[in-house]
Amino acid sequence: MRSMQMVMFMLCVLGGLFLLMQGPAFFMPARIDPAIGLHFDAFASRLLGAGLLALAAVGGQYLRAMYYSEQRRLPNAAAQRFYFACLILALVLIGGAMLRAQPGANPDYRPPSSARH
C-alpha cells in the first residue's frame, strides 16, 4: 500500500510541477462522451497544477507522519488545521481550473464508422 501511496504522491508532485511551470493548453474529454469535453488554457492548466501540488503537500505530511517518523501519532490540532487548509486550497484551485476551462467539442474526435452489411 505504501508503494501505491508513493506513486500517487509522485504523480501529484511531478504532474503539478509540469502543469504549473509549463502551463500547456490541453483538452480533457468527458468520461461518457469523448466527442465533448473541456479545453484548458494556460491559466487553467496552472491552476490545476497548483491544486495538485496542494494535494501533494497534504500527502507529504501524511507520509511523513505515518511512515517516516519513529512514532506513529495522530496529528495534533495544528497539523489538522494545515491538512484542512491545504485540502480547501486544493479544492478551490482544482474547482477554479474546471470552471475556467471552456466546454466544447473534441478537436481530435472522429465518429466511429458504422459497419456495412
**To the nearest whole number, what is the mean pLDDT of the chain?**
88
| The predicted structure's pLDDT at residue 39 | 94
- Tell me, yes or no, whether 94 lies in a domain: yes
| The predicted structure's pLDDT at residue 71 | 75
| The predicted structure's pLDDT at residue 41 | 95
- Look up the pTM and report it: 0.83
pLDDT in tens, 10-34: 999 999 999 999 999 999 999 888 8
- Tell me, yes or no, whether 116 lies in a domain: no
- Tell me, yes or no, whether 117 lies in a domain: no
Which cell goes with 61? 505530511
Q: Which domain holds residue 68?
A: 2-31+38-105
pLDDT in tens, 40-62: 999 999 999 999 999 999 998 88
**C-beta separation of 9 from 69 below 8 A:** no
